[in-house]
Amino acid sequence: MYEPSTQFKIYEQDEWWKDDWDPIQYGQEFDFSRPFFDQFQELRLKVPRMSLNCIDNENSYYTNYALRNKNSYLITTADYNEDCYYGRFSQRNYRCLDFDFSYESRILYQAIDVHKSEHCIWCQKTENSSECYFCYDMKGCHNCIFCAGLRNQTYKIFNKKVTTEEFENFKKELKLNTKSGMKEALKKGREFWQTIPHKQLETIQCEDCIGDYLKNSKNAEFCFDSKDLHDVKFGSFLEKAKDSYDWDFFGHGEVCYEMANCAYRLFECRFCMNTWEGNSNCTYCDLCLGNTNLFGCVGLRKKKYCILNKQYTEEEYEKLVPKIIEHMTKTGEWGEFLPAKFSTFAYNDSVAFEYYPKAEGLRFREENKKEYLEQKINVADDINNIPEDITKEILACGTCKKNFKITDQELKFYKEFQLALPENCWLCRHHERMSMRNPRIIYERICDKCKASVKTTYSPNHPEKIYCEKCYLNEMA
């Protein structure tokens, strides 16, 4: 996951997990004449990091933050998927391609926020549905095209009832096997989606919460894409967290503060990153697993009473930590997260770039456009006219101009389901799907039905009608 020019020491992931090296060997004394962050960063540059974070995958090497996937390619933060390609934040899916935030589904293409559904093409916010094309906000629906806001309906086109024969004929006329047909259909679908009321915030079974895509939570404020939260503020991609503040990915802990990519049985941890599996009372730690009472450590596993990876007795640790905190208070470091300049990634290589593309004073990785090659072949409009050896060709993305290839598995998927070959690389396709989601900004608006004041992620410039939760539920009943 690291760029070739990184200053960090990288181990192949299987090597990183071996017991033939011990991060304690990199331990160093704390120097009270220097800022803590400088010393911590020096340690981070010494201790090896895993190349990818993958566990128990089968034939799915090119994945990251991935658990027990099979025959999958370029999926991230994804678990228990099979025969899936180009997806993120997805679990227990089968034969899905170009999908995000989708769960327990089969045969999805260009899908986002799809749950327990099958054979859905270019759908968003769809649940318990099948054979849906270019649909939005659907639940329990089957055989629908260009529909939005429906519940438990079948054979609908533009939200109007049709016969089975009319549905099949209309689907053929879309000519989704051609690039021109796919583009026209997507345009019509998105235009129709704007004609129905949109819910102010995507929250389900929440009490006293402000945020988007929240489930089963109480007193969660400014939280996004999260569930099972209790008394949490400023959380994202978070679940099963309690009494915590400023936590981005993944949760399963209590009393934690300013955490990034930390999860599972965490208690009273603060200012940590990439710290997993049963840590407690850890402060400013990176890549640590199953530890207790650490301060400024990197890569340690099942250790106690360590500072900058140096082992201390309990008594020594308890005396030294308050002195370090006092020193950090004087330098203005205590209570602050690790500065962005010490990030392991350039800003445009991070997930943050998707949500906040404009940022000043941060390191950006420059694109090496010399590596891009011109596309030498003309790709047919109709998938049925695409030869099998297209998988050997180097293509150029129609948006960013980067080179990409079509894999054998992709081509088989497109031909089987009669879908046009994409013109853009998988990353630009991902960015296009993500643009269908609102930014993580809360606006004040007026419900377009009852005129009550509401909080929403839809900006005042959005053309859709925005309903408060009560009006939305009444409309969809």
- Are β-strands 310-311 and 395-396 bridged in parallel, bridged antiparallel, or unpaired? unpaired
Start-to-end C-alpha separation, the chain: 46
Q: What are residue 239's DSSP bridge partners? A: 227, 251
Tell me: cis bond preceding 337? Omega within 30 of 0 counts: no
Instruction: State the pairing for strand pair 310-311/304-307.
Output: antiparallel
Domain spans in the chain, listed from the N-terminal domain onward: 54-199, 203-340, 369-434, 443-476
Q: For residue 239, what pLDDT is reported?
A: 95
Residue with tokens 């308890």: 318
- Supply the pLDDT for residue 235: 97
Q: Which residues of the chain have pLDDT under 70?
A: 369-370, 477
Cα 368 off chain centre by: 26
Give per-residue burial for 354-368: e unless 16+ CB within 10 Å, then b: eeeeeeeeeeeeeee
Residue 369 is predicted with a pLDDT of 67
SS3 call for 19: coil
In this predicted structure, what is the pLDDT of residue 477? 67
Find residue 251's DSSP bridge partners. Answer: 239, 263
CA distance 408 to 401: 22
Could you give the 3-state DSSP secondary structure of residue 75? strand
State residue 412's pLDDT score: 97
